[in-house]
Structure 1
Amino acid sequence: MHKTPIVCARALLFQTYALPLPQFLLSVRHHSSTNLFVAGLSYNTNETVLRDTFGHHGQIIEVRVICDHKTGESQGYGFVRFNSETAAATARKELHGQIVDGRRIRVSYAHKG
């Protein structure tokens, strides 16, 4: 956002207006709407299981189960990135709350942070 000063009789005000988003920010916003965060995974759930489960809803670009860097054991969450927003939205809607490997998973859009 850009602020332009406006001089008033008793105060200095700022008029705020939005600048167009740079292309790289548009691609980040697009990327996150195709990237799903999957929580509540069984510690036995691996990337193959996630790919098989989510693959019914569209073409998958990447699957990652996050593991402890020392032990190599699953941390119980992961990410699934689709090639389209539509596929990600369908998978999120259809799979949130479903049972995978004996655990009820939570599926939401991943947020950069």
Structure 2
Amino acid sequence: MMRCWRVKDSWAAIIPARRLWLRHACSKLFVVGLSYDTNEIALRDAFAEHGEVVEVKVICDRSTTSKSKGYGFVQFSSEKEATIALQKMDGEFLDGRYIRVHYANKG
């Protein structure tokens, strides 16, 4: 049995694929599982081996100790460098912890 595709059906297939591409078209990475002792300098040094790092931010608890919350962001100068860094650094050992790296969500 042959099915005729309607315009509505074809858009349904294209839109999720486009969202997936847009989600991964990002030069900013989200890094989770950081040691509470990891600072922005250590994070920059670890990721700088894989491309030009533009900005690094370790998220800290401002209300109590100003210690790291265990996650942060690393932004590269290009999407290609971010992709390489994600592939190389995801699951790596940094400051006594295995880190996980994802593309940062836009917006």
Q: Pick the structure with more helix per residue.
A: 2
Q: Secondary structure at the match of 2:49?
A: helix
> Displacement of 1:53 after TM fit?
0.2
- Give the alignment partner of residue 97 of structure 1, picking from 88, 91, 95: 91
Query: Under a length normalisation based on structure 1, what TM-score does the superposition of the two structures give?
Result: 0.71
> Displacement of 1:73 after TM fit?
1.1
- Give the alignment partner of residue 100 of structure 2, picking from 94, 99, 106: 106
> Displacement of 1:39 after TM fit?
0.1
Query: 2: distance between equivalents of 1:112 and 1:33?
Result: 8
For residue 51 of structure 1, what is the aligned residue in structure 2?
A: 44
Query: 1: distance between equivalents of 2:92 and 2:51?
Result: 17
Matches within 5 A, 1:40-79: 40-71=33-64, 72-79=66-73
Query: 1: distance between equivalents of 2:77 and 2:106?
Result: 18
> Displacement of 1:84 after TM fit?
0.4
Query: 1: distance between equivalents of 2:106 and 2:53?
Result: 19
For residue 29 of structure 2, what is the aligned residue in structure 1?
A: 36
For residue 84 of structure 1, what is the aligned residue in structure 2?
A: 78
CA offsets, 1:8-30, max 9 Å, x none? xxxxxxx7xx9xxxxxxxxxx69
Q: Percent identity?
A: 52
Q: State the one-letter code of the partner of 2:98.
A: R
Q: Which aligned segments of 4 or more residues in structure 1 are displaced greater than 6 angstroms?
A: none
Q: Which structure is larger by alpha-carbon Rg, 1 or 2?
A: 1
- Alignment RMSD (CA, Å): 2.2
Query: Under a length normalisation based on structure 2, what TM-score does the superposition of the two structures give?
Result: 0.75
Q: Secondary structure at the match of 1:43?
A: coil
Query: 2: distance between equivalents of 1:69 and 1:47?
Result: 16
For residue 16 of structure 2, what is the aligned residue in structure 1?
A: none
CA offsets, 1:32-89, max 9 Å, x none? 6000000000000000000000001111110000001112111000000000011100
